[in-house]
Every structure is written in C-alpha cells, then in structure tokens.
C-alpha cells in the first residue's frame, strides 16, 4: 500500500510508533525512525534486522524541539531517499499528576514534546512536501483529547491542541495537496500497559464495549490507511481507534 513512499516516524522506537514503522515497512515504504536517544534507535533497528527482510530503514535521534536539528535530520532523509511522502508525529510523553502537585516545568515539558515538536516537524515536512506536489502528515492524538482525564491535565491539553493543529493545517495545506489527519488511540497494549497487574487491567477492559484493550498493530493499521491512497480524499479527521471506550 505504500510502495515507493518515504516516511518519517517520530517516537518510532517502541510501542505504537514501532508498530507503525513495521507496518509501513511491510507495505513497501522506506522509513526513517526517530527516537530520543542513539541507544533506543539502535535497539529498534537491531530488532527490525531480525525480521530477515530487506527493509529500507534508517534511524536518527534529533532533538524534536530544536528546529535546526529537525531540519538537518529531514535533510538527511532527503539526501538518502530523495523525497518525503509521509510524516508521522508520534513522539510524546504522559503524566498523571494531580493539579495540586503539578509542577509548571513538568506541564511545559509535555506541551513542548507533545505539541510544539508536532508543529516544528510538520513545518519542516510541509516545506519539503509542497514543492514535491503533496504529501501526508499524521499526528498521534489520544482518546483523552476528546474526553479529558481525571489527573495529569497536561497530556489531554496537549492532545486537544494536536487536534486543533491537525484540523487547522488540513485547511491550510489542502491547496498544496498535503493531507493532515490524526489517530486517537484508546488503551493499547504497549509495554507500560502490558506491565499492569490483572486487577488493574480487568476493570479497564470491562469498561470498553469490545471488552479488550487494543493492540499496537491495530492502531498501526489506522496510520497505514490514512497514509495510503485509499484515504486520498480524507483530511482534517481525528480517527478514534479505541473500541468505543470513554476515559
């Protein structure tokens, strides 16, 4: 579905991001996965090499809050593969701090990575995609962007903002044939969730109409669809992949 396409996936070393990287590679894309540190990037590349397939993949670890480093990393991808068709803004962090204890610097850190880096990377991508004749930007949102959550207000606030940025960029960049959408996952079996004890997981599953949590591969399928030509007339959408759960 993505043959001859080139993609960048931020936060691509684990969890949903890594599942997206694998899904894109399996569907013929060339992928640059971005991580926060060299060690995590190398580990992800090593794991992909064990697949025994001739994937075209590279790894980089720019500071996503630094426009200069982001531009340099994007230029490195262009230097290797000549174009950029898809950007997935997946890097992010969360927290569950009470408003009574929330440190302003911790709130700022979440906004910096979850929102500001999305703007910086999207701007860099758009400047590349427009002269090419178009492209696709997909942002990772969250179910809590729609419902909020009972603590850790910085995370849902950042994802509410990602939704607004997604819809605004879709309207602004449509004339340049750049589609911009977001995927809003629900509770997904990442490493963090998988480590939770049964007594914590069961009530969560019982609250979801499908009676189970999502798998990273299921969320990655949504990214694949939105990145592909099957979604060629879809832009400005926030696609929920949450089993109809409500936070």
Catalytic residues: 155
Alpha helices, DSSP H only, in 14-81?
15-26, 38-49, 67-81
Q: How many whole angstroms separate alpha carbon 109 and alpha carbon 154? A: 9
Phi, psi of 52 (to 5 degrees): 75, 20
Q: How many whole angstroms separate alpha carbon 202 and alpha carbon 197? A: 9
Asked if 145 and 179 touch (Cβ cutoff 8 Å), the reply is: no
Q: How many whole angstroms separate alpha carbon 129 and alpha carbon 132? A: 5
Q: How many whole angstroms separate alpha carbon 73 and alpha carbon 108? A: 24
**Max CA distance (Å), the chain:** 53
What is residue 26's DSSP assignment? Answer: H
Asked if 70 and 96 touch (Cβ cutoff 8 Å), the reply is: no
């Amino acid at each position: 579905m993505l043959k001859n396409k080139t993609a960048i996936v931020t936060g691509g070393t684990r969890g949903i991001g890594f599942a997206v990287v694998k899904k894109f590679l399996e569907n013929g894309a060339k992928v640059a996965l971005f991580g926060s540190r060299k060690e995590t990037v190398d580990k992800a590349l090593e794991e992909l090499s064990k697949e025994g397939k001739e994937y075209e993949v590279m790894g980089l670890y720019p500071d996503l809050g630094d426009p200069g480093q982001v531009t340099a990393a994007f230029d490195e991808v262009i230097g290797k593969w000549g174009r950029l068709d898809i950007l997935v803004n997946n890097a992010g962090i969360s927290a569950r701090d009470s408003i009574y204890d929330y440190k302003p610097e911790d709130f700022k850190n979440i906004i910096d990575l979850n929102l500001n880096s999305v703007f910086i990377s999207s701007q860099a991508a758009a400047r590349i995609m427009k002269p090419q004749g178009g492209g696709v930007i997909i942002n990772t949102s969250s179910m809590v962007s729609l419902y909020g959550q009972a603590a850790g207000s910085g995370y849902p606030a950042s994802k509410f903002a990602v939704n607004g940025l997604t819809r605004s960029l879709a309207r602004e960049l449509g004339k340049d044939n750049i589609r911009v959408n977001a995927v809003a996952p629900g509770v997904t079996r990442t490493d963090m969730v998988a480590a939770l004890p049964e007594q914590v997981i069961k009530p969560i599953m019982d609250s979801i109409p499908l009676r189970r949590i999502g798998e990273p591969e299921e969320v990655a399928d949504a990214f694949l669809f939105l990145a592909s030509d099957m979604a060629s007339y879809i832009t400005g959408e926030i696609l929920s992949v949450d089993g109809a759960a409500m936070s």
